[in-house]
């Protein structure tokens, strides 16, 4: 084809080159899908893909043959050397049937759209005086009608409902009976376009056939099929627009554009309807945004096509190709996220189930028989719905997973009736403690079963994957459109969702019965961990320099990530051909760093090796470490570097290594400047003025003692045997570490402390909101809502941070569910509270607002309980107070008196919170560990306070200061033990062991 194109005039040349590209692309897709099918021959999706690929390639071959017919005698009979189109259609039907699909509804709707388009084309061709084109349209319509009738028959064979089966069979016969009448009328009209009677006959036959097609389409009510068919049709229309513009075919372009506009309106309408009925606010927004973007891209596609046909040049043709590719991506993404998914319906049903259970329990406890009688049928109906949805999902799972899901569903079904009966019994006698306990037990069992069903179906994983696929698509789309702010937002959203997706995927891997699925999930999580920083680096490179190469690099990486996430969402779509190990171009940070060192060394030895130099630059561009770090992480890294430099300083001083001391000293002074810059920036953003003051005081103290420590180390290096000099150096080093700890505690703090603080502030804002709504204070309500949403964002982020350190999958899920519920509640509460404040006498509006506020408070309490944020944060605060108190006492600072008071009060609060948290610990040994640590603190506190008084009485008594330091060290050990018991991460356990060893040494 390309050889013939070289001989053709410019317009024909563009058409042939476009067809050659299309043939190549189609053949490549067919080969890829066929190879995948060879590896997984029973996969119905792959079977269907191959069938569609064959049909597409054969269609392209036919169009190419027609384009070549006037290029020489050797093409006069070329159509006889290929399968005719009718045979291709029959082959694709046989392949569809062999695929064993559970429905052909999408194929029915798509074929109906195509037949109707050919029918419209026929009328246009007659009106335009083009009988040859009209006859081609009639031939095409006949082939499509035959396919549509066959598909209706195939669907009727799968249908179990007798009425619908008969309707499908009737539609099949009607299509077969009516088309000959249409064919006859069309031929008469084509032959006699000026005969009014013939044209009227065609109009009547057209309407009759169109109504028959519509009758069949009306039987397909599945929104996924409607969306899928519309998306496939729009993708074909986009190809037709591009091909017509490339070929300089103005008439073809007009026809394709008309069809594209019509289908774009259909698809956006269908997807918009899905958004309207979607409960999840995040998915609703994502679908609406995708629909808006699809509508926005349409005129740009048409303008690019117009530019290519009016001014054909490499630049205009490239722009058209880019616009078409961008819009096709948007079509696929919009359809994907807009479809119905039973797993998402299950999540919504699970939330309703818990809500009904809570209402029923509350009504029964209050002796409200009427409310119990009203809620019980709703609960029974919803339980049945959960069962129906879960069974449908289970049917597509492996056998062991099916068993787990069905077992839980059956148990839930068996509990629903007795739970309702228990609620009715309790409502009639609310003082019956045994009845109350019995109902609570059944309700808790039902909640746990609902959680288990949602987990075993991987519903949460699917939701996270769908949202992430939307984010990844937005990255590509923003790059295509050179939308820098949009790209930055999409990249941030991708990075944020990654933090949520990873723990959900790991939990799914732990539950997976299939070893291969478990292995793939864990490997793909690691792969995404590697690809994320690479994609962020490429985003950064594109923002700095939006070249085609940078855009291509970004699209390639994000495309790999999309494929991986799609396989995580649906095991049937796992693609082993996707390049992993960083996508073949780096990504794994550890491996990239290793390669960075190797390439740098090679480049140093071979300064003229331009390839090595370029690879070095590529690796550096793909290491966006600073961009990935938060402000807190940057400061934490600097504090860690300073501690390491301090260790080097002391070690070199002990060895008498003067150059080593000087180098470590220079390092410390340089790091101190960076710490000061970063911590000052963070201090300005702190809400708590007391914390801000502590940060600034710590920075001021470090400015003084870091140079003093370096000077003391120089003295030790000059005379390593001077014990007094050593003691002074190590005392100063301890002071540096203490000030760094104070800095970290107040500028960065911990997930638990930030969560606890945000929870406190959000509850205060909720109370202000409640009062403002009740009083009809609209400005007050708006101001309170702003604060609630602000602190809720912090709460959600810190809640996910805590969840990342929770190894118990059930507890991890509870925390993440609470966070997600809080986020989803915000837009609902915003609307309800604004409505309630504006209508203080509207009881329904007030009740809705108050209910939302109460639900928000309950979710915050749940989050605090499950994260154990209160006892952990209090233990961390107590530890920080010990360090601050020692520093204040050594300096003779009057603030030490406040430290003593805070120490005693915090220990009291800690005891209460830790004992309460210990009750929920399943391991008796863990409970005992908490009790032992609290007893130890009770024993140590009086002696520590006495040591503090001794230092205050004589600030020059070094022995008293040593005793204070020892008692501080001893008290920090049980605090670390409490933290490690409640949050047993490797880091916390190691910290507890270190502090216990230090306490034993201090005791000696």
Of 114-123, 489-498, 572-581, 657-666, the least confident? 572-581
Alpha helices in 684-750, H assignment, sequence order: 689-718, 723-743
Q: How far apart are CA 932 and CA 974, in angstroms?
A: 8
Q: Each residue of 202-236: b (16+ CB within 10 Å) or e?
A: beebbeebbebbeebbebbeebbbbbbbbbbbbbb
Q: What pLDDT is stored for residue 514 in this prediction?
A: 83
Of 309-313, 318-322, 349-353, 614-618, the least confident? 614-618
Percentage of the chain with pLDDT > 90?
45
Under DSSP, the state recorded for 805 is: T
Nearest Cα residue to 513 out of 398, 426, 590: 398
- Phi and psi, residue 442, nearest 5°: -65, -40
Q: What pLDDT is stored for residue 72 in this prediction?
A: 57
Q: What pLDDT is stored for residue 957 in this prediction?
A: 84
Which tokens go with 676? 């000061």
607-614 mean pLDDT = 74
Query: What value, to the nearest 5°, has the Cα angle with vertex 295 and ends 294 and 300?
Result: 90
Q: How far apart are CA 363 and CA 358, in angstroms?
A: 9
**Widest distance between CA atoms in the chain:** 120
Tell me the pLDDT band of 75, cut-offs 50, 70 and 90: very low
424-443 mean pLDDT = 92
Mean pLDDT score across all residues of the chain: 86
Tens digits of residue pLDDT in 209-251: 999 999 999 999 889 999 999 999 999 999 999 999 888 888 8
Tell me the pLDDT band of 585, cut-offs 50, 70 and 90: very low
Tell me the pLDDT band of 597, cut-offs 50, 70 and 90: low
376-401 mean pLDDT = 90
Tell me the pLDDT band of 629, cut-offs 50, 70 and 90: low
Q: Each residue of 128-155: b (16+ CB within 10 Å) or e?
A: eebeebbbbbbbbbbbbbbbbbbbbbbb
Q: Are 492 and 627 in contact (CB under 8 A)?
A: no
Of 133-137, 151-155, 592-596, 806-810, the least confident? 592-596
Tell me the pLDDT band of 763, cut-offs 50, 70 and 90: very high
pLDDT greater than 80 at residue 69: no
Tell me the pLDDT band of 630, cut-offs 50, 70 and 90: low
More confident residue, 940 or 29: 940
350-367 mean pLDDT = 92
Q: What pLDDT is stored for residue 616 in this prediction?
A: 65
More confident residue, 597 or 326: 326
Q: How far apart are CA 301 and CA 324, in angstroms?
A: 6
Sign of the Cα pseudo-torsion (292, 294, 295, 297, in order): positive
Which tokens go with 706? 């870091």
Of 287-301, 722-736, 737-751, the least confident? 737-751
Q: What pLDDT is stored for residue 689 in this prediction?
A: 81
Q: What pLDDT is stored for residue 788 in this prediction?
A: 93
Q: What pLDDT is stored for residue 749 in this prediction?
A: 74
Q: Are 181 and 205 in contact (CB under 8 A)?
A: yes
Q: Are 974 and 936 in contact (CB under 8 A)?
A: yes
Whole-model pTM over 0.75? no
Task: Name the range with the highest mean pLDDT among 56-60, 364-368, 801-805, 916-920.
Answer: 364-368
Q: What pLDDT is stored for residue 583 in this prediction?
A: 42
123-145 mean pLDDT = 91
Tens digits of residue pLDDT in 473-487: 999 988 988 888 888
- From the CB of residue 719, how many other CB atoms can be counted at a distance below 10 Å? 11
* DSSP sequence for 667-692: HHHHHHHHHHHHHHHHHTT-S-HHHH
Q: Taking each helix axis from N to C terminus, what angle separates 10-39 and 223-247, rounded to the nearest 10 degrees?
A: 150
Residues 6 or more apart from 287 whose CB is under 8 A from it? 271, 272, 274, 275, 278, 334, 337, 338
Tell me the pLDDT band of 711, cut-offs 50, 70 and 90: very high
Q: What pLDDT is stored for residue 984 in this prediction?
A: 85
pLDDT greater than 50 at residue 202: yes
Nearest Cα residue to 106 out of 4, 230, 1, 21: 230
Which tokens go with 36? 């995948």
Q: What pLDDT is stored for residue 170 in this prediction?
A: 93
């Amino acid at each position: 084809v390309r050889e013939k194109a070289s001989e053709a005039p410019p317009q024909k040349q563009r058409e042939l080159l476009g067809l050659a590209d299309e043939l190549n692309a189609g053949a490549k897709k067919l080969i890829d899908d066929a190879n995948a099918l060879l590896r997984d021959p029973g996969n119905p999706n792959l079977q269907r893909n191959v069938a569609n690929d064959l049909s597409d390639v054969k269609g392209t071959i036919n169009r190419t043959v027609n384009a070549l017919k006037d290029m020489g005698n050797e093409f006069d009979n070329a159509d006889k050397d290929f399968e005719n189109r009718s045979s291709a259609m029959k082959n694709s039907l046989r392949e569809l049937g062999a695929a064993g699909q559970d429905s052909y509804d999408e194929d029915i709707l798509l074929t109906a759209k195509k037949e109707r388009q050919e029918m419209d084309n026929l009328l246009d061709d007659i009106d335009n005086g083009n009988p040859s084109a009209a006859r081609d349209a009639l031939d095409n319509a006949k082939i499509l009608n035959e396919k549509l009738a066959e598909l209706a028959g195939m669907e009727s064979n799968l249908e179990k409902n007798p009425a619908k089966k008969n309707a499908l069979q009737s539609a099949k016969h009607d299509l077969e009976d009516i088309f000959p009448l249409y064919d006859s009328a069309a031929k008469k009209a084509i032959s006699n376009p000026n005969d009014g009677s013939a044209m009227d006959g065609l109009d009547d036959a057209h309407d009759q056939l169109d109504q028959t097609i519509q009758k069949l389409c009306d039987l397909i009510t599945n929104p996924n099929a409607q969306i899928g068919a519309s998306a496939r049709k729009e993708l074909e229309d986009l190809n037709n627009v591009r091909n017509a513009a490339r070929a300089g075919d103005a008439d073809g372009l007009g026809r394709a554009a008309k069809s594209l506009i019509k289908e774009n309106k259909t698809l956006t309408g269908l997807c918009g309807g899905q958004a309207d009925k979607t409960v999840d606010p995040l998915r609703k927004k994502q679908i609406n945004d995708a629909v808006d973007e699809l509508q926005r891209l349409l005129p740009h596609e048409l303008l690019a096509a117009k530019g290519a046909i009016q001014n054909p040049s490499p630049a205009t043709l490239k722009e058209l190709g880019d616009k078409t590719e961008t819009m096709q991506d948007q079509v696929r993404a919009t359809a994907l996220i807009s479809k119905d998914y039973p797993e998402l319906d299950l999540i919504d049903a699970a939330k309703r189930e818990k809500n009904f259970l809570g209402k029923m329990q509350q009504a029964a406890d209050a002796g409200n028989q009427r409310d119990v009688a009203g809620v019980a049928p709703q609960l029974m109906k919803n339980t049945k719905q959960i069962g129906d949805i879960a069974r449908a999902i289970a049917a597509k799972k492996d056998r062991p997973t099916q068993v787990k899901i069905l077992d839980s569903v059956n148990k839930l079904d068996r509990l629903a009736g007795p739970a309702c009966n228990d609620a009715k019994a309790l409502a009639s006698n609310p003082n019956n403690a045994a009845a109350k306990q019995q109902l609570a037990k059944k309700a808790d069992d039902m909640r746990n079963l609902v959680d288990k069903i949602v987990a075993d179906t991987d519903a949460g994983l699917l939701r996270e994957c769908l949202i992430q696929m939307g984010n990844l698509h937005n990255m590509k789309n923003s790059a295509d459109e050179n939308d820098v702010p949009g790209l930055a937002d999409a990249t941030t959203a991708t990075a944020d969702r990654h933090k949520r997706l990873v723990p959900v995927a790991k939990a799914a891997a732990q539950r997976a019965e299939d070893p291969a699925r478990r292995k793939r999930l864990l490997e793909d999580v690691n792969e995404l961990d590697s690809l994320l920083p690479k994609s962020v680096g490429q985003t950064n490179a594109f923002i700095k320099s939006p070249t085609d190469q940078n855009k291509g690099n970004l699209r390639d990486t994000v495309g790999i990530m999309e494929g991986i996430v799609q396989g995580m969402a649906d095991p049937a779509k796992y693609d082993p051909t996707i390049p992993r190990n960083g996508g073949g171009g780096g990504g794994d940070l550890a491996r990239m760093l290793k390669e960075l060192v190797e390439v740098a060394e090679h480049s140093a030895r071979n300064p003229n090796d331009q390839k090595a130099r370029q690879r070095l630059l590529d690796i550096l561009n793909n290491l966006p470490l600073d961009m990935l770090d938060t402000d807190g992480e940057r400061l934490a890294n600097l504090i860690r570097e300073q501690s390491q430099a301090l260790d080097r300083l002391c070690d070199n001083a002990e060895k008498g290594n003067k150059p080593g001391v000087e180098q470590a000293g220079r390092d410390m002074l340089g790091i101190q400047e960076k710490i000061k810059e970063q911590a000052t920036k963070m201090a300005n953003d702190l809400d708590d003025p007391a914390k801000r003051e502590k940060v600034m005081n710590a920075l001021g103290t470090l400015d003084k003692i870091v140079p003093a420590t370096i000077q003391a180390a120089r003295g030790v290096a000059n005379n390593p045997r001077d014990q007094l000099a050593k003691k002074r150096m190590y005392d100063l080093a301890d002071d540096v570490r203490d000030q760094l700890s104070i800095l970290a505690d107040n500028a960065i703090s911990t997930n638990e402390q930030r969560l606890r603080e945000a929870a406190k502030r959000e509850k205060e804002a909720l109370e202000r909101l409640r009062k403002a709504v009740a009083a009809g204070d609209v400005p007050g309500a708006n101001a309170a809502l702003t604060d609630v949403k602000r602190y809720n964002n912090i709460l959600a982020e810190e809640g996910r941070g805590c969840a990342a350190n929770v190894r118990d999958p059930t507890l991890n899920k509870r925390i993440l569910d609470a966070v997600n519920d809080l986020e989803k509640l915000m837009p609902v509460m915003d609307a309800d509270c604004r409505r309630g404040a504006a209508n203080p006498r509207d009881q329904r509006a007030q009740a809705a607002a108050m209910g939302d506020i109460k639900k928000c408070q309950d979710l915050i309490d749940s989050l605090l309980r499950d994260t154990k944020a209160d006892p952990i944060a209090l233990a961390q605060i107590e530890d920080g107070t010990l360090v601050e108190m020692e520093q204040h006492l050594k300096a003779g600072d009057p603030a030490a008196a406040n430290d003593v008071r805070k120490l005693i009060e915090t220990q009291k609060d800690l005891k209460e919170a830790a004992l309460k948290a210990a009750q929920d610990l399943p391991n008796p040994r863990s409970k005992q560990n908490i009790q032992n640590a609290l007893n130890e603190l009770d024993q140590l506190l009086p002696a520590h306070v006495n040591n503090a008084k001794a230092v205050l009485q004589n600030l020059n008594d070094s022995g008293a200061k040593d005793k204070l330091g020892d008692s501080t060290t001893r008290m920090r050990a049980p605090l670390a033990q409490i933290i490690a018991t409640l949050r047993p991460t490797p880091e916390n356990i190691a910290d507890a062991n270190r502090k216990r060893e230090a306490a034993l040494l201090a005791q000696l």
